[in-house]
């Protein structure tokens, strides 16, 4: 994200506090759409106020208090309209009377909000929504991502994402989904839905899959194998470290062992591997390699091929092309990447251009590689990635 220092600070605060603010408001107004609208109004107020006064010591409390005050003002206007016999806007039609709602806002807004994010997560991941809608709404409400950021993650357009969010919130409102963590027999299927969405967000990707209980060991294996590398993904300066350059001696061997054990359990239970299991097997190939040079790239390329048959996805095709380049050489990988270059979902995907640049550089085409690194730098919204790609391009001049 680009902007002034104050705007960037507000953006960071919103990412950290959005779920707590929206969750706390939703607990009170019993309407997720209204809660987000109020939180967004508070965010706009912060964009006006904080550049002048500075970021408050407790920004989350500032946003919640501001949103609460906006809600109280709206309720007072609604009560005046009610007394005057005027129609009340649908955004203020809740399951409780206006008086009860106003009392709840005044009395309960300072309660412990510890469970509000969990409640919000269960609502956003409600099984009545499609998987795409659940992931999108969770990124929006719990992750604090903008429509633009979600569109980039989905490789789709902002209007598509915006409509998906609107439809999801409307569906939740029409179904009067309670703002609570489910209990009893309802918890099992609701938890499966949440776990599926959490993994998809954890993996920073999107893939259609099933949610059967048999997939849980594969999901557990995948998350543990990925988590084993957490401490080596960022260097001392805060820069991301590519997998092949990570210090494998610092990988968490306990997490790897647990992940491999869970993978064995998934392989025992499943008649044939599903998407979680295939991705966990790919992660296991990396975990088992003592050095980057010992990685079984041929096996990884074959696994991505199997994954493609289950999940036709341009991002999976991109990953397979990179694996093929490691197994068979940069020219073989470049042929696959060139075939993907015309895919509309990848036209502005910086990782495609970065991967092409890397292979072109390995083949000795420095000028074309430089152009691709520069192109990738213009497409990423991550400042550190942008500077690193610019540096790669500059080194080839």
Instruction: Residue 326: name the closest of 293, 351, 353 by CA.
Output: 293
Architecture per CATH, domain 115-176+184-206, reads as Orthogonal Bundle (1.10)
Domain boundaries, the chain: 1-113, 115-176+184-206, 210-295, 318-397
Question: Considering only 27-36, 210-219, 388-397, which range has the smallest mean pLDDT?
Answer: 210-219
Percentage of the residues of the chain whose pLDDT score is greater than 90: 29
CB atoms within 10 A of CB 87: 7
Contact 134, 126 (CB under 8 A): yes
Instruction: Residue 2: name the closest of 389, 388, 390, 378 by CA.
Output: 378
| Model confidence pLDDT, tens digit, residues 165-212 | 999 999 998 888 888 888 888 887 788 788 777 766 665 433 333 334
pLDDT score of 131 more than 70: yes
Contact 314, 343 (CB under 8 A): yes
pLDDT score of 247 more than 70: yes
What was the pLDDT predicted at 6? 66
Check residue 85 and give left, alpha or beta (phi > 0: left; psi -120 to 50: alpha).
left
CATH topology agreement for domains 115-176+184-206 and 318-397:
no
What was the pLDDT predicted at 2? 57
Q: Name the more confident of 113 and 158.
A: 158
- State mean pLDDT over 295-309: 95
- State mean pLDDT over 24-34: 81
pLDDT score of 103 more than 70: no
pLDDT score of 16 more than 60: yes
pLDDT score of 336 more than 80: yes
What was the pLDDT predicted at 206? 35
79: helix, coil or strand? Answer: helix
Q: What is the Cα–Cα distance from 73 to 75, expressed in whole angstroms?
A: 5
What was the pLDDT predicted at 95? 40
What was the pLDDT predicted at 178? 84
pLDDT score of 112 more than 80: no
What was the pLDDT predicted at 257? 94
- State mean pLDDT over 221-231: 85
pLDDT score of 141 more than 70: yes
Average per-residue pLDDT in the chain?
81
pLDDT score of 232 more than 50: yes
In Å, how far are 154, 219, 220, 235, 236 from 232, measured between CA atoms? Answer: 27, 22, 20, 7, 10
How many whole angstroms from its chain centre is CA 338?
A: 28
What was the pLDDT predicted at 250? 94
Would you say how long the chain is, in residues?
397
Contact 77, 98 (CB under 8 A): no
Contact 376, 354 (CB under 8 A): yes
Q: What is the Cα–Cα distance from 65 to 92, expressed in whole angstroms?
A: 19
Q: Name the more confident of 223 and 120.
A: 120
Count of alpha carbons within 13 Å of 102, Cβ hemisphere only? 11
318-397 is a CATH 1.25.40 domain: yes
- State mean pLDDT over 152-170: 86
- State mean pLDDT over 326-354: 91
Confidence tier at 58 by pLDDT (50, 70, 90): confident
- State mean pLDDT over 78-84: 51
């Amino acid at each position: 994200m680009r902007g002034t220092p104050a705007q960037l600070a507000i953006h960071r605060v919103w990412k950290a506090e959005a779920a707590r603010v929206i969750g706390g408001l939703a607990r009170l107004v019993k309407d997720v759409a209204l809660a987000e609208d109020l939180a967004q109004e508070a965010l706009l107020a912060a964009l006006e106020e904080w550049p002048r006064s500075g970021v408050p010591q407790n920004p989350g409390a500032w946003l919640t208090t501001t949103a609460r005050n906006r809600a109280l003002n709206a309720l007072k206007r609604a009560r005046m309209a009610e007394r005057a016999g005027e129609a009340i806007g649908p955004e203020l039609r809740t399951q409780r009377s206006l008086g009860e709602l106003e009392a709840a806002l005044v009395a309960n807004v300072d309660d412990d909000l510890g469970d509000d994010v969990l409640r919000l997560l269960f609502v956003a991941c409600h099984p009545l929504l499609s998987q795409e809608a659940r992931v999108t709404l969770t990124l929006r409400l719990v992750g604090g991502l903008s429509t633009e950021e979600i569109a980039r993650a989905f490789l789709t357009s902002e209007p598509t994402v915006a409509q998906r969010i609107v439809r999801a919130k409307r569906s939740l409102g029409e179904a009067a989904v309670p703002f609570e963590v489910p209990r009893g027999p309802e918890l099992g299927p609701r938890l499966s839905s949440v776990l599926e969405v959490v993994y998809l967000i954890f993996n920073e990707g999107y893939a259609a899959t099933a949610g059967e209980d048999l997939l849980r060991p594969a999901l557990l294996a995948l998350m543990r194998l990925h988590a084993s590398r957490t401490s080596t993904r960022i260097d001392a300066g805060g820069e991301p470290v590519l997998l092949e350059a990570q210090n494998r001696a610092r990988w968490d061997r306990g997490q790897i062992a647990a992940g491999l054990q869970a993978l064995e359990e998934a392989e025992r239970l499943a008649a044939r591997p599903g998407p979680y299991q295939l991705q966990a097997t790919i992660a296991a190939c990396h975990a088992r390699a003592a050095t980057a040079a010992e990685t079984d790239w041929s096996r990884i390329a074959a696994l991505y091929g199997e994954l493609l048959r289950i999940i036709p996805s341009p991002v999976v095709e991109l990953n397979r092309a990179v694996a093929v380049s490691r197994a068979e050489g940069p020219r073989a990988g470049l042929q696959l990447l060139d075939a993907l270059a015309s895919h509309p979902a990848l036209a502005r995907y910086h990782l495609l251009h970065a991967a092409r640049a890397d292979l072109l550089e390995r083949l000795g085409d420095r000028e074309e590689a430089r152009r691709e690194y520069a192109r990738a730098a213009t497409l990423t919204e991550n400042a550190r990635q942008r500077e690193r790609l610019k540096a790669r391009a500059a080194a080839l001049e």
